[in-house]
Amino acid sequence: MILSDRDILRNREDIKIVPFNRKNLGTNSYDLTLNPKMLVYVNAPLDPKVDNETKTITIPEEGLVLKAGELYIARTNEYTDTRKHVPQLAGKSSLARLGLFVHTTAGFGDDGFKGTWTLELYPTKDIVLYPNMKICQIYYTPITSRPLSTYDKKRDAKYLGQIDATASKYYKNYDELTEVN
């Protein structure tokens, strides 16, 4: 079951969105906006075993052309804190029709996640994006039973509390494997 707009409003104690703008509330989702600072990877190939180098770029008011086939690590302006629900991201259909993926596979959140949402922007065609534009939507499904532990209590929660666009921290999985062996 996906929460409706009324459900989202009724559950504001467990679904926090900061800042919250009532105009961004849809029928069963909330529109999130694009922060002007993004990351791009500096070198190729990317290696999941290392902390790959990135550089920061800023979207100017007049917009920035994202090049087809390039990956841009962006973030939402909105900070969310979700309890008792699973937050999920989806693209905006109008932007998808222009060839923009807002997350390549990582649109699923955890109960207890706190932070801004990192987006993996991947344009299939050159596209101009603008700072603070509506970029994606978040929707919520209720949890029918409490999980054994929520995300904010996990010691290995790599992205908890993220504020800036956050590049991959997959390399930390190798540190954990080394500790186990």
Backbone φ and ψ for 38, nearest 5 degrees, come out as -135, 165
Provide the token pair at 137: 């939507």
What 3-state class would DSSP assign to 45?
Answer: coil
| Amino acid letter, residue 14 | D
39, 68, 97 from 56: Cα distances, Å: 5, 19, 27
Q: What is the C-alpha separation between 104 and 31, in angstroms, rounded? A: 18
CA angle 68, 73, 79 (to 5 degrees): 135
With 0-12 CB in 10 A as exposed, 13-18 as middle and 19+ as buried, what is 101? Answer: middle
Contact 163, 115 (CB under 8 A): yes
Active site residues: 120
**Token representation of residue 132:** 């603070």
